[in-house]
Amino acid sequence: MGSVRTEAGLEAAARRLRDADRVLALTGAGVSAESGVPTFRGPEGLWRQFRPEDLATPEAFERDPRLVWEWYAWRRERIAPLEPNAAHRALAALESRTVEFLLATQNVDGLHAVAGNRRLVELHGSLWRVRCTGCRKLREDRRVPLGDLPPRCACGAVLRPDVVWFGEALPEGAVGAALKAAQTAEVVLVVGTSALVYPAAALPQIAQGHGAFVVEVNPEETALTASADVSLRGRAAELVPALVEAGQ
Residues that bind ligand APR (CB under 6 A): 28-30, 33-34, 39-42, 52, 106, 124, 192-194, 196-197, 217-220, 222, 235-236
Kindly give the interhelix angle for 86-96 and 236-246, rounded to the nearest 10 degrees.
30
Q: Which is nearer to ligand APR, 117 or 194 (CB)?
A: 194
- Cβ neighbours, 10 Å, residue 133: 17
Least distance between ligand APR and beta carbon 21 (Å):
26
Q: Which is nearer to ligand APR, 101 or 165 (CB)?
A: 165
Least distance between ligand APR and beta carbon 226 (Å):
14
CA distance 14 to 37: 28
Least distance between ligand APR and beta carbon 24 (Å):
16
CA distance 130 to 127: 8
CA distance 191 to 105: 9
Relative to beta strand 138-140, strand 187-191 is unpaired
Residue 152 near residue 158, CB atoms below 8 Å: yes
3-state SS record for 62-93:
HHCHHHHHHHHHHHHHHHCCCCCCHHHHHHHH
Which residues does the annotation mark as catalytic?
124
Residue 201 near residue 179, CB atoms below 8 Å: no
Least distance between ligand APR and beta carbon 162 (Å):
13
Q: Which is nearer to ligand APR, 50 or 80 (CB)?
A: 50
Q: Which is nearer to ligand APR, 56 or 153 (CB)?
A: 56
